[in-house]
Amino acid sequence: MDTLSVNAVLGPQGLVSRRIAAYEHRSQQLEMAAAVADALKDQKHLVVEAGTGVGKSYAYLVPAILHATSNEGKLSPSEPDSSKSSEAKNAQDRKSSSEAVPEEDDDRVHRIVISTHTISLQEQLMAKDIPLLNSVIPREFSAVLVKGRGNYISLRRMQLAKSRAVNLFGNESDYNQLKQIVDWAETTDDGTRSTMAFKPTMSVWDEVASDSSNCMGRKCPTHDKCFYYKARRRVHNAQILVVNHALFFTDLALRDAGASILPNYDAVILDECHTIEAVASDHLGLSVSSSQIDYTLRKLYNSNSGKGLLVALDLKQVQDLCHKCLQRLDEMIHDFVEWYDNKPKHNGRVHNKEIVENILSDKLTELAKQLERFGKDHDVPSVKQELLAASNRLTTLAISLEAWLKQTQEDAVYWLEKTTNRMGSKIILRCSPIDVGPTLRKMLFQKVPSVIMASATLASGRNGGFEFFQSRVGATGSRTKQLGSPFNYRKQAELILLTDLPDPSSERQEFESMLPSIIQHYAGLTEGHAFVLFTSYDLLRRMVDRLTPWMSRMNLAIYSQADGTPRGQLLDAFKKHPQGILFGTDSFWQGVDVPGDALRNVIITKLPFSVPDHPLLEGRLEAIRNRGGNPFRDYQLPEAIIKLRQGFGRLIRTATDSGMVVIADPRITTKPYGRTFLDSLPECSVSHVSGKRWASDLS
């Protein structure tokens, strides 16, 4: 085996520099790559912050590829625990039946999982970074983008849906979509819905999607052509697996119950790791909604349209039971709404068990058993599979509803969300662990030999420490590395701090009345080309309403996240026509890349403190207080610092970018904690400007 090093690939005279014209050597990139290589070799965990422009994807990809293709080490990842009971395995299989499938594993293949939060970074890795490294590194390796099973079409289920379309679909639109899917299936290369020219409705896709509980395996007549199994074979032969955080943490939860989605792996690299506490909270908790239950039941039998699987199979004796389940669901929704409405001025948090009587789980279980009995007795294998899959889904919903009402998960926050429209009320029951750190320590850091966590923004203390991040995700004791950006922020960026404005917390109305003219002035200086970042949709909407007349006169386009337009579409439109203002909330503070002249101005309306009105945050702050800590100092402040750094980071994306960041919140200069915020930002030109100078009536 050759003795390739990261320096031989990424150094000034390395393999990459010979391939890329005008290649810029970055010392920070080499330093990060060396730290990642050492952590992989030593089987240690690493937290690394690499500023914008370091090129962190190459800095972890190169050592990952070299490690995965070396003869060093033995595969010893967090394999599914064979000591788990079969009941636990079955329950967890039901919980994520659309994903987990038993699979033989090849321990001779060294694998490294690379997980990202955003699709754009996945696309960059798969379409640009990995192909280039594959062409210059003289070792054989393969990399695969791993998608969840539900993204793939099942050819058998598609043909089944086609034969039953009259009894399955209640409108012409769904039927036409199915015909389009059938045509697409004849030409697609990978069989995933993301390659379609249109986005099918869930009601149609659910009838044709690959589903483990509805899979016949090698007995399936279309097994040899199956897109999902072809993809799985590629996954099990690949050394580099690219996934998203949602799939990674779903797999992690399954491993704790003896199942898995991913094959075994040696190490994991979590890019954009500042998001993993939030993602892990979602996937290590519990969620069940009235819409899920209603949808599952109506796919079986919809009395209004006379359609459904039970109609297609002529199982009239089960239709009545299904209808009774729907009636019980309506009653439970009414009970939940009544509980919610009788507690005015609350956030939906549930402190007590069994706030309403569970009149539904038993009926769902009864229906599931009926379907299981008919399924086992049926002579047609595909019908047998369909009925057993439906039984599985109903059992999962019954168990989840019971678990939520009885609050079976300890050290967790339970809450109820209610939405109402012209069709009536909908309920979502949620539960998340108060602290994911201990769980991740047990399930991830104590089982996977090397976990590499990378982000452009992780430090939150005055001294640039990672203690807050490490404690929140259970990564205490890991190695750490902090690397600055190669960009010259002193020349490229100006930070404008507005002084003498009203305090947004104690003088909210006065502050918000002055904010439109502040935005008007600074966005006008750059003729748009601006992001305006908010911490709430309500304030965003009010500012857009106030500024619309002025923007129309100035011929500035309005890109508002409050309109419901998907983030990607807003971003594409802004890049094409940047003479406008993009008004964004949470998702625009991070993971958004607009290099070049399109973005020259970022206006931050308020310091991004989380408002403790969300049940999960409320529970976490209570837990800190109960331990004798200070919720503001120990959680809200460091979290806000990381988010401010993310927002600031939207401006400078390349070495030739320039512009200004305006912070309208005066607390950054008037409060003692303001200095901590400022110390966390890159060193740049800073101007203190009177905010009241511009806070006049809109012109």
**Between helices 381-406 and 86-95, what is the axis angle to 10°?**
100
Do 65 and 137 form a contact (C-beta atoms < 8 A)?
yes
Provide the pLDDT for residue 74: 44
Edge-to-edge strand ranges of the sheet holding 493-499: 557-560, 580-584, 530-533, 601-604, 659-663, 493-499, 685-690
Q: Is pLDDT at 83 greater than 50 in this prediction?
A: no
- CA distances, 463 to each of 43, 367, 456 (Å): 28, 60, 16
- CA distances, 7 to each of 54, 58, 137 (Å): 15, 12, 12
Q: Is pLDDT at 98 greater than 60 in this prediction?
A: no
Provide the pLDDT for residue 346: 83
Q: Which pLDDT band, with edges at 50, 70 and 90, does 73 fall under?
A: very low
DSSP code of residue 154 = P
Do 480 and 659 form a contact (C-beta atoms < 8 A)?
no
Exposure string of 655-675, with b = 16+ CB inside 10 Å and e = fewer, is eebebbbbbbbbbbbeeebbe
Bridge partners of residue 209, in order along the sequence? 153
Q: Which domains does the chain have, with CATH numbers?
A: 26-142+238-280+438-483 (3.40.50.300), 149-230 (no CATH), 285-433 (1.20.120), 489-690 (3.40.50.300)
**Hey, what are 121's tokens?**
């970074």
Global model pTM greater than 0.85: yes
Highest average pLDDT, of 305-314, 351-360, 687-696, comes from 351-360
Provide the pLDDT for residue 77: 44
Provide the pLDDT for residue 84: 40
Provide the pLDDT for residue 283: 92
Q: What is the mean pLDDT of residues 396-400?
A: 97
**How many CB atoms are closer than 10 A to CB 496?**
18
Edge-to-edge strand ranges of the sheet holding 450-455: 143-145, 240-244, 112-116, 267-271, 450-455, 46-50, 479-483
Q: Which residues contact 677 (CB under 8 A, 6 or more apart)?
A: 607, 640, 641, 644, 668
Tens-place pLDDT, residues 361-397: 999 999 999 999 999 988 888 889 999 999 999 999 9
Do 124 and 164 form a contact (C-beta atoms < 8 A)?
no
**Hey, what are 273's tokens?**
């790791």
C-alpha–C-alpha distance, residues 306 and 169, integer Å? 10
Q: 3-state SS of 186-250?
A: CCCCCCEHHHCCCCCCHHHHHHHECCHHHCCHHHCCCHHHCHHHHHHHHHHHCCEEEEEHHHHHH
Q: How many alpha carbons fall within 13 Å on the CB side of residue 136?
A: 20
Bridge partners of residue 428, in order along the sequence? 289, 417
Any idea of the CA torsion for 608, 611, 616, 620, to the nearest 10 degrees? 80
Tens-place pLDDT, residues 633-672: 999 999 999 999 999 999 999 999 999 999 999 999 999 9
Tens-place pLDDT, residues 561-582: 998 888 889 999 999 999 999 9
Q: Is pLDDT at 167 greater than 60 in this prediction?
A: yes
Q: Which pLDDT band, with edges at 50, 70 and 90, does 106 fall under?
A: low
Provide the pLDDT for residue 244: 95
Do 409 and 428 form a contact (C-beta atoms < 8 A)?
no
Tens-place pLDDT, residues 245-302: 999 999 999 998 888 999 999 999 999 999 999 999 999 999 999 999 999 999 999 9
Bridge partners of residue 688, in order along the sequence? 497
Q: Which residues contact 566 (CB under 8 A, 6 or more apart)?
A: none
Tens-place pLDDT, residues 325-339: 999 999 999 999 999
Tens-place pLDDT, residues 424-480: 899 999 999 999 999 999 999 999 999 999 999 999 865 668 999 999 999 999 999
Q: Is pLDDT at 91 greater than 70 in this prediction?
A: no
Residue 607: which of 531, 686, 668, 652 has the closest Cα?
668
Tens-place pLDDT, residues 32-44: 999 999 999 999 9
Q: Which ranges of 526-673 does DSSP label H, i.e. alpha helix?
A: 537-553, 567-576, 615-626, 631, 637-648, 667-670
Do 679 and 488 form a contact (C-beta atoms < 8 A)?
no
| pLDDT, the chain, mean | 90
Provide the pLDDT for residue 462: 59
Provide the pLDDT for residue 94: 39
Do 294 and 302 form a contact (C-beta atoms < 8 A)?
no
Q: Is pLDDT at 107 greater than 90 in this prediction?
A: no
Provide the pLDDT for residue 120: 84
555 versus 94: which is more confidently predicted?
555
Q: What is the mean pLDDT of residues 672-680?
A: 94
Q: What is the mean pLDDT of residues 404-408?
A: 97
**How many CB atoms are closer than 10 A to CB 587?**
12
Amino acid of residue 156: R
